[in-house]
Structure 1
């Protein structure tokens, strides 16, 4: 599953887009309610409460200037909201979580039959077609029905890996696709109908790589597994000087496995995007960033080759998004 050990300091991230995420999540939940935030009463209660406690503990310790514990709960100093966390809670824990963390959360529990089932989820920003209500109470097989190659390659190993997962072994991974907007609920690529393609006049400057940063960890008390998802948008234009990034995007869009290409909707924009990527590739060759005969491979530094300093990996500075650090750089506008 291409997973990495999670540095727990970076379980829940904060960045300049925090308020935008909070506003979008509130709008989705207000409009759609339990379609994107649902739970199974009784079976999920302990896990939802434990997750809320863990998130509050993490945020107040990791970001003490942004979140502060009070005698009755927690203050969100970014939004100005004070939360009363005394039990019984006035609201469901998932609703409170949605106003604290940018991440979407899925809660999975193992039942007597050995399979893992979705018992609660708050997912205001899936980016595509994931509806919580239709997946609630379903096993992993049903949740991953649309995922390419799940049954052929992932099904058995995923169930076994979930069963063995320990609370002190959190991991992270990333999934990505290409879009031309910053919509959290449903990006434009998934709004296109069968046979539709991205409009020919779409500006290349709008194209983004939407990276869904995902983490998995087991709660120590309820033993539920928590899957979190946090979308991050990287403008392709802003990444044009990252060695091999345009080349790797082109290779994946044109040569990826057929089912993956269809699942990610690459067929809806490939003929429009490839000429742009070709120009960026030639630009890197002309500037000496890469050579035309260089073997195409991922750079050894993670995730960007020209900014990550291993000496900084324990300070937090090495993880700052370079797009917003470079002199004169402009953040992509939503």
Structure 2
């Protein structure tokens, strides 16, 4: 659960086990079919013009070569990682890669390295290189951005420019983030979350509607049944490639139903309600909380009362970050893990 309270604007990074980098789950084929649709069946002309699949074209031949080298290094990393991590799903044989779940074969000599990455991984990826002007986004393959910001313009931008519209970036994050990007070596991860009511991976309706109807969004939201509301969790990871020193930022959306999942997570409804009303003002605006919080308030309060009644929480429990943040408590106990079964949640 990525829910924290007090909800402050921080990087909120935790160490990442590389066994958990590059998720393959039950929605793999659905995600990959959506990628194929969004990227027009990977038509070469469509990809070259696509705003979600873009590589920086730099005038300096040396910089252009370093960009290509970084993308190729990342391709090689992905091919190696997936074939080693999921040997029954992905196989590399010389210059050929077999994606068994999708029944696809990729010629590594002829297919563009960024397309190979896109067709193997469920995640979106941003490739950032340390250039003369600072850490710069040099390539993206982002099918599932969610619609919160335009993708294509970030290519060629430095981190400070990319994060201009992030609440409190200048005052809370800028200094520490730039310093951290220079020094970090080990993989880390974080998560961001938003309230949505659809599963559109590319662009959630809350963003299209907010642009179309503005303040009328509050009235529109009231037409949506409670049980359609979801928490979209964007699971994000950061790794640094060894040769190029490129930083790879990836993003994997996961959806949790308020009605079927959040309802049963101890303390989660309490934190969500608290965050929607008591976060810093710019975070409330950034996440459109004011558009739906009054509508969802009685629904979440009902969940809270249900948790109190079932003794999941106590009525006087202080709303705060749960002790098991960001992972379930039992994941810290290696006795719950085996090579054959992975993590096993202990019985109550």
Q: How does 1:150-169 map to 2 (within 5 A)?
A: 150-166=169-185, 169=186
Output the TM-score relative to the length of structure 2: 0.85
8 Å contact from structure 1 (residues 189, 268) kept in 2:
no
Q: Which residue does the alignment assign to 1:170?
A: 187
| 1:35 and 2:58 aligned | no
| 1:223 and 2:223 aligned | no
Q: Which residue does the alignment assign to 2:232?
A: 210
8 Å contact from structure 2 (residues 221, 291) kept in 1:
no
Counterpart among 117, 131, 145 of residue 111 in structure 1: 131
Q: Secondary structure at the match of 2:101?
A: coil
Counterpart among 230, 240, 265 of residue 263 in structure 2: 240
TM-superposition CA deviations, 1:250-282 (whole Å, max 9, x none): 001111111111111111211111111010000
Q: Which residue does the alignment assign to 1:15?
A: 25
| 1:147 and 2:166 aligned | yes
Q: How does 1:282-321 map to 2 (within 5 A)?
A: 282-303=305-326, 305=328, 308=331, 310=333, 311-313=335-337, 315=339
8 Å contact from structure 1 (residues 34, 132) kept in 2:
no
Q: Which residue does the alignment assign to 2:202?
A: 185
Over the aligned positions, Cα root-mean-square deviation in angstroms equals: 2.2
Q: Secondary structure at the match of 2:137?
A: strand
| 1:76 and 2:76 aligned | no
8 Å contact from structure 1 (residues 4, 172) kept in 2:
yes
Distance (Å, rounded) in 1 between the aligned partners of 2:338 and 2:232: 26
| 1:276 and 2:293 aligned | no
8 Å contact from structure 1 (residues 211, 231) kept in 2:
yes
TM-superposition CA deviations, 1:51-75 (whole Å, max 9, x none): 1110111111111111111233210
Find runs of 4+ consecutive structure 1 residues off by over 3 angstroms.
Answer: 302-309, 313-320
Distance 1:64 1:255, change over 3 A: same
Shift of 1:141: 1.4
8 Å contact from structure 1 (residues 242, 304) kept in 2:
no
8 Å contact from structure 1 (residues 4, 171) kept in 2:
yes
Q: Secondary structure at the match of 1:212?
A: strand
Distance 1:279 1:152, change over 3 A: same
8 Å contact from structure 1 (residues 242, 305) kept in 2:
no
Distance (Å, rounded) in 1 between the aligned partners of 2:144 and 2:232: 12
The 10-residue stretch of structure 1 (27-36 or 157-166) with the greater mean CA deviation from structure 2: 27-36
Show structure 2 runs of 5+ residues with no match. Answer: 1-10, 41-45, 58-63
| 1:263 and 2:263 aligned | no
Q: Which residue does the alignment assign to 1:45?
A: 68
Higher relative contact order (CA 8 A, sep 6+): 2
Output the TM-score relative to the length of structure 1: 0.89
Q: Secondary structure at the match of 2:39?
A: helix
The 10-residue stretch of structure 1 (186-195 or 51-60) with the greater mean CA deviation from structure 2: 186-195
